[in-house]
Structure 1
Amino acid sequence: MPSPSDRPVPTRRPAARRKRGEGQWALGYREPLNKNEENKKNDDGLNVRQRIIDVYSKTGFDSIDPADLRGRFRWHGLYTQRRPGIDGGKTAILEPEELDDRYFMLRVRIDGGQLDPARLRAIANVANKYARGTADVTDRQNIQLHWIEIESVPAIWAELEAVGLSTMEACGDTPRVILGCPLAGIAEDEIIDGTPQIEDVHDRYIGSPLFSNLPRKFKSAISGCTAHCTVHEINDVAFVGVVNENGEVGYDAFVGGGLSTNPMFAQRLGAFVKPEQVHEVWAGIISIFRDYGYRRLRHRARIKFLVNDWGAEKFREVLEKEYLGYALPDGPAPAAPLPRRDHVGIHPQKDGNRYVGFAPRVGRVSGDLLHVIGDLAEEYGSGRVRTTAEQKLVILDVPPDRADDLADELEKHDLQVGPSTFRRQTMACTGIEYCKLAIVETKQRAMDLIDELERRLPDFTEPLTINVNGCPNACARIQVADIGLKGQLVMDENGEQVEGFQVHLGGQVGATFGKKVRGLKTTSAGLTDYVERVVRRFDAQRTEDETFAQWVQRAGDEDLK
């Protein structure tokens, strides 16, 4: 079987003329325009794997080339974590080597969120042996470990790869993990099972040098879920299950979604993509990004800027004429998403069994807890477990008469199947505990917030998302939350600089970004009081069936402060 690099892929001939522009390869300018681009040109990030195995794991942290340490290591899921004791005020001041700890975060990519007993136990074992028991479920269905030493990395890879897991291209300027519905193939109401398409794209292209030097990261989603749990609206590329006018099942394609400091929703190409075409349409879209993407300025290097400048019509035209070589038919738009996209609770599968979705606290688990989840999944179900894009987990294939017993067992470990709104819909990024970009604490702050809101507002049951982020980069999707909290330093009542948050209100995925009220910030210490205050006002003023986001649009600024 040919390797991914041997397989044909849609491509175009670069223009003969050389034009600086935005550093777009397709326009003839291939010379590096910044240090990141120079680093990638000097050596493919995929090549660092062998140096880790043969050199760095034997000679130790101090032997690592800085270009590998803070660059190419990401191609295999490794980031240096933040050195303990450095406060948020130093984040933007210190040099990278001053922020670096001698330990790493390691991201295990879990395409489609699919875990079996062997995979779950392998991650749990690695967490306990090499990561001080740490494990966090991310909002991209991965699991992140911390406190990893370079000497341990080859052994970790061996354990993960023995069960079909990998850290390859979990980070870096690469095609990262492909999101998929955790209920793919089992949901009663799914439009199409996206698993074969996820596997097809993964097996053809992940780890291929064809796409190992992109302008920036590239996030994908492929799903036929009616809840739209993969949040296609904020992915670089997404394929969403639809049925066309002839009754054929396929996908609607979206491109150019992303958040961070310049949030944009993805645009529909308006094309109907047959299941067997997904891999080549995906390859055509990522090839456009590789060839036409902006490489001059790092902060403009995401595909969303290209799509925003071109528009969906031109993007589709270039895709069809220059990369696919054929026209795609027009197709229908997907239906609206459900109010909650997380698959929490006990629900029927199409085979008569049940799936049981549960909520750890803001995605934080541990090696021991992963072992418990694996044991319960095998005792009550088939052993299959899924991660979600909302920092949750799901156990599949549970007989109807055993689902409640499983829920009771999960509750004993604080894994709630019937959580409060606050437990169910609060997310948090890694924060200052480990992240070198963070300014404030997030995980523990969010956990404390959940506990206190449950105590103060025990009867509040309306859908309400609270997303807590440690910096402006929006890993926790602050702009599309009902209450989005962006970590920053603020002044307290004594005029002292302390940890706090800028507040975004009324964001909705695919509809609107959160509203920023002038001067609306809160200290970390005052966060719970603020959230309680605004939630009580919403509860008192809302009309029947009015959502928090709708109320925010009509509420006065004083009601939002």
Structure 2
Amino acid sequence: MTTPAKPANRHHKRPRGEGQWALGYREPLNKNEENKKNDDGLNVRQRIIDVYSKQGFDSIDPADLRGRMRWYGLYTQRKPGIDGGKTAVLEPEELDDRYFMLRVRIDGGRLDLAQLRVIADISNLYGRGTADVTDRQNIQLHWIEIEAVPDIWERLESVGLSTTEACGDTPRVIMGCPLAGIDTDEVIDGSALVQEIHDTYIGDPAFSNLPRKFKSAVSGCPAHCTVHEINDVAFVGVVNDSGERGFDLWVGGGLSTNPMLGKRLGVFLTPEQVSPAYGGVIGIFRDYGYRRLRHRARIKFLINDWGAEKFRDVLEKEYLGYALPDGPAPEPPRGGRRDHVGVFPQKDGNFYVGFAPKVGRLDGDRLHLIADIAERHGSDRVHTTVEQKMVILDVAPDRVESLVAELEAADLQVNPSTFRRQTMACTGIEFCKLAIVETKALASNLIDELEQRLPDFSSPLTINVNGCPNSCARIQVADIGLKGQLVVNDRGEQVEGFQVHLGGSLGVNPGFGRKVRGLKTTSEDLPDYVERVLRNFEKQKDDGESFSEWVQRADDADLT
């Protein structure tokens, strides 16, 4: 007698796939994945040259306009006059202007004067003079017309620069310490590895269709200036027990609306192993990364689910083919600020001079001026930092004083206030289609106000201003992080303002900023709010206590 089959459980459902290619989910699960399957983003370059630049903006295929053109650093700007309340309401074509932001990738932050001058020329010829240094060491231009793009590419490529994969679901700019090779205290020089990774992987169709963007850093900087904790992949200089210099591997850092700190895999990499390991990590992301839901498509979600141990196992067995030795964690960052502003000695007896443009905002004429000042003082290198600042390298000791004087006279401050030195702002509603509030001018005015109101304030303090929840300006890890949104003022009017995050930090005690219930401020009231909190900090802080440490123990009343 046969046993009757059990009735099917109508409520049992097969687990839903996350779109992971390695598990057989190759069919596109959303519009972005469909567009990428239909045509690789790298292929848009030839259409821009042959068709769009000749036939104009109206000839651009919408799938290229709002998708594949990002593979070459091109985003449409926000149409002027659209207020922040409409950001999430209007269709993309209603927000699009007929001009583009163009992002020039500067891997490792390294520029020579010829390259800097080409960017300055492009800014003045095609970008209405715009030029912003970003917190990923790039320079962004605005007001670019599609007709100008082929000439811009020719100019950039003639000096070894490009916009290839500056945006899009690609391996974006590889950050590196701007002082690599010259810092007197550096653990290891990562500049050759930045170049090797760039030459091996950037523009390779094997890695041009990732689930989302992929942010990288390679550095032996003792100040940890490349903020390795919040990159998708980061290689951090270390010295192992045998005295060998190499790298510690971190994976899965990122902020936005779901912030996570990177996880150490616990391995030691020789310099020769860094590029293969990069290829393995990006390969895991390509093959196992989640593609079904775009908001879960960053590598941080994958390693958060897998754990560092499984990720390391897959990397070694499936992608490298060999086991990696265990290695040490990085030393804590060098004391003080994690930037390179000021005058400091190099290994070779020369000096470098770091200076602070206000919130990274420059223009073509000032880029030319910076190049001229550097050249007059014997330097051929001006590098960008991840804090929206710049550094002139290779200055002879007897020329430092003159260089500093010329920079300061141009309001490019070498000895800035804490507020000038450590305030950062994203692009904001002026150009960005995701933004809700204005940021650049507001942050610049905030610096001026705080310098007048608190002229003696000298503690390290980061103020990061972001125009939307996406955290391009790293709000969750700032001492004072400001997330743009519309708020209601005392008169009952809906106006631009911010949700406040307090006490975020990286380094020795990493953590995300504290949110006090209901704590918001209007843009108009922001200087009063920051002044009030900083005065409370100054009164209550213990000797040697940082702002973020104070915030963790402060009463809510002292933070509002």
TM-score, scaled to structure 2: 0.97
Q: Where do residues 257-268 of structure 1 align in structure 2 (5 Å cutoff)? A: 257-268=253-264
The match for 2:542 is: 543
**Structure 2 residue 451 is matched with structure 1 residue 432:** no
**Structure 2 residue 281 is matched with structure 1 residue 285:** yes
The match for 1:98 is: 94
Q: Which moved more, 1:402-411 or 1:541-550?
A: 402-411
**For residue 389 of structure 2, what is the amino acid of its counterpart?**
K
Matched residues, percent identical? 78
**For residue 43 of structure 1, what is the amino acid of its counterpart?**
D
Runs of 4+ in 1 over 3 A off after TM superposition: none
The match for 2:476 is: 479
Could you tell me how far 1:405 is from its partner in structure 2? 1.2
Aligned counterparts of 1:244 and 1:532: Cα–Cα separation in 2: 45
Report if aligned partners of 1:19, 1:28 keep a CA contact under 8 Å in 2. Answer: no
**Structure 2 residue 553 is matched with structure 1 residue 554:** yes
Could you tell me how far 1:412 is from its partner in structure 2? 1.0
Please state whether the residue corresponding to 2:75 is helix, strand or coil: strand
The match for 2:73 is: 77
Could you tell me how far 1:148 is from its partner in structure 2? 0.1
Aligned counterparts of 1:79 and 1:412: Cα–Cα separation in 2: 35
Could you tell me how far 1:382 is from its partner in structure 2? 2.2
**For residue 389 of structure 1, what is the amino acid of its counterpart?**
V
Q: Where do residues 103-502 of structure 1 align in structure 2 (5 Å cutoff)? A: 103-338=99-334, 339-502=336-499
The match for 1:66 is: 62
Could you tell me how far 1:539 is from its partner in structure 2? 0.5
Aligned counterparts of 2:143 and 2:541: Cα–Cα separation in 1: 46
Aligned counterparts of 1:337 and 1:426: Cα–Cα separation in 2: 20
Aligned counterparts of 1:83 and 1:413: Cα–Cα separation in 2: 32
Could you tell me how far 1:377 is from its partner in structure 2? 1.1
Aligned counterparts of 2:17 and 2:277: Cα–Cα separation in 1: 26
The match for 1:10 is: none
**For residue 367 of structure 1, what is the amino acid of its counterpart?**
G
Aligned counterparts of 1:512 and 1:483: Cα–Cα separation in 2: 13
Report if aligned partners of 1:381, 1:396 keep a CA contact under 8 Å in 2. Answer: no
**Structure 2 residue 488 is matched with structure 1 residue 503:** no
1:189-209, Cα deviation, whole Å (9 max, x unpaired):
001110111111110110000
TM-score, scaled to structure 1: 0.96
Please state whether the residue corresponding to 1:197 is helix, strand or coil: helix
Aligned counterparts of 1:197 and 1:398: Cα–Cα separation in 2: 25
**For residue 550 of structure 2, what is the amino acid of its counterpart?**
W
Report if aligned partners of 1:19, 1:27 keep a CA contact under 8 Å in 2. Answer: no
Could you tell me how far 1:376 is from its partner in structure 2? 1.0
> Which runs of no fewer than 5 residues in structure 2 stay unpaired?
1-13
Aligned counterparts of 2:195 and 2:432: Cα–Cα separation in 1: 31
> Which runs of no fewer than 5 residues in structure 1 stay unpaired?
1-17
Aligned counterparts of 2:344 and 2:184: Cα–Cα separation in 1: 9
1:79-118, Cα deviation, whole Å (9 max, x unpaired):
0000000000010000000000000000000000000011
Could you tell me how far 1:20 is from its partner in structure 2? 5.1
Please state whether the residue corresponding to 1:107 is helix, strand or coil: strand
**For residue 422 of structure 2, what is the amino acid of its counterpart?**
Q
**For residue 512 of structure 1, what is the amino acid of its counterpart?**
G
Please state whether the residue corresponding to 1:362 is helix, strand or coil: helix
Aligned counterparts of 2:516 and 2:402: Cα–Cα separation in 1: 46
Please state whether the residue corresponding to 1:371 is helix, strand or coil: helix
Aligned counterparts of 2:15 and 2:132: Cα–Cα separation in 1: 44
Could you tell me how far 1:19 is from its partner in structure 2? 8.1
1:154-194, Cα deviation, whole Å (9 max, x unpaired):
00000000000000000000000000000000010001110
**Structure 2 residue 509 is matched with structure 1 residue 517:** no
Could you tell me how far 1:434 is from its partner in structure 2? 0.2
1:251-273, Cα deviation, whole Å (9 max, x unpaired):
00000000000000000000000
Could you tell me how far 1:381 is from its partner in structure 2? 3.0
Aligned counterparts of 1:382 and 1:481: Cα–Cα separation in 2: 33
**For residue 198 of structure 2, what is the amino acid of its counterpart?**
H
Aligned counterparts of 2:492 and 2:158: Cα–Cα separation in 1: 56
Aligned counterparts of 2:16 and 2:74: Cα–Cα separation in 1: 32
Report if aligned partners of 1:467, 1:477 keep a CA contact under 8 Å in 2. Answer: yes
Please state whether the residue corresponding to 1:499 is helix, strand or coil: strand
Could you tell me how far 1:146 is from its partner in structure 2? 0.1
The match for 1:5 is: none
1:121-159, Cα deviation, whole Å (9 max, x unpaired):
000000000000000000000000000000000000000
Report if aligned partners of 1:381, 1:395 keep a CA contact under 8 Å in 2. Answer: no
**For residue 503 of structure 1, what is the amino acid of its counterpart?**
V
The match for 2:44 is: 48
Aligned counterparts of 1:219 and 1:461: Cα–Cα separation in 2: 32
Report if aligned partners of 1:19, 1:29 keep a CA contact under 8 Å in 2. Answer: no
**For residue 541 of structure 2, what is the amino acid of its counterpart?**
R
Please state whether the residue corresponding to 2:359 is helix, strand or coil: coil
Rg larger in structure:
2
Please state whether the residue corresponding to 1:204 is helix, strand or coil: helix
